[in-house]
Each structure stands twice: as structure tokens, then as C-alpha cells.
């Protein structure tokens, strides 16, 4: 039995799993660190008494220290989520069960899950982009997540603006980076009302499509990934965006990277809201395997 924690900016999901099966799950709103971590710890302790938990996997929002060789391992770095900066998840949760604890970002965990069970199944190299409250990118190469001094933060890549577009973006750090232009809050602010209410034929989508197409083109030129999976609330609610993004991406590539013409490279995420929780269980399984 494995336990997984998906710690998101707005919600937290705890899952108990066996193999690829989720046996039990609990969901609650992510609040302050003290309140949220207490709820997580209490549930993990109950499971630890009832089951012999072999490992724990934590998939958290970032920026996050995920290099076990660094003193910052487990620490949440500067974040827009009040009160969470400086919280160390390994210190808080790592000793609750007797087995090992694995740690990853939520988007890397989702990338692993889509590679194991979803839209990137069978691929050795793929990327996962979540388009929701923020933009996150997880990269898998040769079946392993790509991690340098920090996890990838490609959601903050800078892109060329469409001429005449004066929207300043919403990213607190960069303004009009990819996240600042195409996240859910950015779409809503650009439209002047909730992005969910935006009609499919609204001109704002053309700008969103162009920005995401640039982001995907940049990833392919850098990584030559077999596939890019797009998920998150914006994509799940409007899957028609993905073929539109791919068409614009191919146009931007200008005939370069001939393999993009051999079949769809961009795919809609198949696991939906289960990508993160199932990814957390995979992080637990990897921790157990590497023990």
C-alpha cells in the first residue's frame, strides 16, 4: 500500500493506492501551512495504523527543492501562496511512515502519470504542460524526470508578443511571460470577466493559442520530445484548443523538425484531475524502488 499527497495551491488530495488502483482518497482546500499539514499528517497517521504503508509520495506546487543532495531539499521557495515560503515538506511529513518518502513537483508527477497511464504512454521522451491557475511544465527524458539545480520552470519562459497586443500580463515576477499571458487568471483579466464565461469564438483565444504555440515550439526545439501533453483546467474545459495550438505551432516552426508532420505531437491529457494523485503514487513507488 502506497500513500500519495498532491499539494496544490488551491486544493490538496490524499490518496491510498495499490499498484495503479486508487483505493481511497480525501480532498480539502489548501489553507495555511499549519492547518493543511496537520490535516495531511492526521490522515497519513490513520492510514499508517490501518495499513502497512510501504512508501509516501509528495507532489507539491513549487518552486520546490527536490534535489536530495541540497540542504534545501523539501523546502518551498519564494511563492505567491501566503505563508508557504520556507516550509519544508520533508521535515513536516517525511517521518510519519516507516517507509521512504519521495518528493516531486505536482506537474512532474502529472507528467510521470501521463507517461505511465495516459496520453504519453509508450513515449520515452515527453513534456507535460498544465494550463490552469498557473502554467507548469514537467519534462521526462528516457523515462526519467528532468531535474537540474531546480525543476524546470518553463511556464515562465518569455515569448514574442503579437503586434498590437498591449496586455501587461499577470505574472507577479515577469508580467507577460507564458504564465502571465495564458494562465486562467490571465485569460480572465484580459477578457474582463471570468475566463470560464469566455465564448469559444472570442478574439482573446487567438492570443492565448499563439503564446502556447510558441511555448510548445520552444520546448520541441530544445528537447525534441516525442510528445507534449496539455492538461489543466483551461485545456480540460476546452480541448479544442490543443489542435489549434498544434496548427499554429507547426506554422511557427516553418517546416523545421520534420517529425511533427508524422502525426499529432500535442495531445490532450487523458487522466484529467487524477494525473496529480496518480503521479504522487508513482513518486512513492519510485522512492520504494530506489530505497
Do the domain assignments include residue 251? yes
**Whether residue 95 is found in the same domain as residue 132:** no
Distance (Å, whole) CA 106 – CA 58: 8
pLDDT digit string, tens, across residues 58-68: 999 989 999 88
Neighbouring C-beta atoms of residue 109, cutoff 10 Å: 32
Strand residue runs (E) in 19-68 = 21-29, 55-60
**Whether residue 279 is found in the same domain as residue 170:** no
The DSSP line for 176-240 is SSHHHHHSHHHHHHHHTS-GGG--TT-THHHHHHHHHHHHHHHHHHHH--SEEEEESHHHHH-TT
Do the domain assignments include residue 51? yes
Do the domain assignments include residue 232? yes
| Omega of the bond leading into 154 within 30 degrees of 0 (cis) | no
Do the domain assignments include residue 113? no
Nearest 10 degrees: Cα torsion 230, 233, 235, 237? 150
Confidence (pTM): 0.92
CATH number at residue 67: 3.30.420.40
> Structural domain tally of the chain?
2
Do the domain assignments include residue 44? yes
Q: How confident is the model at residue 112 (pLDDT cuts 50, 70, 90)?
A: very high
**Whether residue 226 is found in the same domain as residue 282:** no
**Whether residue 48 is found in the same domain as residue 178:** no
Neighbouring C-beta atoms of residue 26, cutoff 10 Å: 14
**Whether residue 173 is found in the same domain as residue 240:** yes
**Whether residue 140 is found in the same domain as residue 265:** yes
Write out the residue range of the structural domain in which residue 277 sits.
2-105+273-289
What value does the mean pLDDT take over residues 161-182? 93
pLDDT digit string, tens, across residues 6-31: 998 889 999 999 977 899 999 999 99
Do the domain assignments include residue 16? yes
pLDDT at site 194: 66
Q: Answer yes or no: is pLDDT of 201 > 80.
A: yes
Distance (Å, whole) CA 192 – CA 49: 50
Q: Answer yes or no: is pLDDT of 37 > 80.
A: yes
Do the domain assignments include residue 142? yes
DSSP β-bridge partners for residue 227: 126
**Whether residue 163 is found in the same domain as residue 64:** no
pLDDT digit string, tens, across residues 138-166: 999 999 999 888 899 999 999 999 999 99
**Whether residue 93 is found in the same domain as residue 134:** no
**Whether residue 266 is found in the same domain as residue 123:** yes
Do the domain assignments include residue 156? yes
**Whether residue 261 is found in the same domain as residue 277:** no
Q: Answer yes or no: is pLDDT of 117 > 70.
A: yes
**Whether residue 129 is found in the same domain as residue 93:** no
Q: Are strands 144-145 and 11-18 parallel, antiparallel or unpaired?
A: unpaired
pLDDT digit string, tens, across residues 184-198: 999 999 887 666 778
What value does the mean pLDDT take over residues 80-102? 92
**Whether residue 265 is found in the same domain as residue 279:** no
Amino acid at each position: 500500500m502506497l500513500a500519495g499527497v498532491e499539494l496544490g495551491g488551491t486544493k490538496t488530495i490524499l490518496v491510498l493506492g495499490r499498484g495503479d488502483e486508487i483505493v481511497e482518497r480525501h480532498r480539502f482546500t489548501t489553507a495555511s501551512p499549519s492547518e493543511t499539514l496537520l490535516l495531511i499528517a492526521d490522515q497519513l497517521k490513520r492510514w499508517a495504523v490501518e495499513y502497512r504503508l510501504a512508501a509516501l509520495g509528495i507532489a507539491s506546487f513549487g518552486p520546490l527543492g527536490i534535489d536530495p543532495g541540497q540542504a534545501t531539499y523539501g523546502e518551498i521557495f519564494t511563492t505567491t501562496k501566503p505563508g508557504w515560503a520556507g516550509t519544508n515538506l520533508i521535515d513536516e511529513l517525511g517521518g510519519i511512515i516507516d517507509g521512504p518518502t519521495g518528493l516531486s513537483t505536482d506537474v512532474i508527477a502529472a507528467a510521470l502519470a501521463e507517461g505511465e497511464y495516459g496520453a504519453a504512454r509508450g513515449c520515452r521522451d515527453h513534456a507535460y504542460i498544465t494550463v490552469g491557475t498557473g502554467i507548469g511544465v514537467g519534462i521526462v527524458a528516457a523515462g526519467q524526470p528532468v531535474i537540474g539545480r531546480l525543476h524546470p520552470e518553463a511556464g515562465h519562459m518569455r515569448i514574442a508578443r503579437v503586434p498590437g497586443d498591449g496586455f501587461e500580463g499577470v505574472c507577479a515576477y515577469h508580467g507577460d511571460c507564458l504564465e502571465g499571458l495564458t494562465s486562467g487568471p490571465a485569460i480572465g483579466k484580459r477578457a474582463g470577466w471570468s475566463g470560464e464565461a469566455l465564448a469559444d469564438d472570442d478574439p482573446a483565444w487567438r492570443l492565448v493559442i499563439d503564446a502556447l504555440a510558441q511555448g510548445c515550439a520552444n520546448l520541441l526545439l530544445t528537447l525534441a520530445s516525442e510528445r507534449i501533453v496539455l492538461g489543466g483546467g483551461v485545456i480540460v474545459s476546452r480541448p479544442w484548443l490543443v489542435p489549434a495550438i498544434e496548427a499554429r505551432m507547426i506554422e511557427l516552426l516553418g517546416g523545421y523538425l520534420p517529425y511533427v508532420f508524422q502525426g499529432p505531437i500535442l495531445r490532450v491529457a487523458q487522466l484529467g484531475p487524477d494525473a496529480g494523485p496518480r503521479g504522487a503514487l508513482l513518486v512513492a513507488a519510485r522512492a520504494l524502488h530506489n530505497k
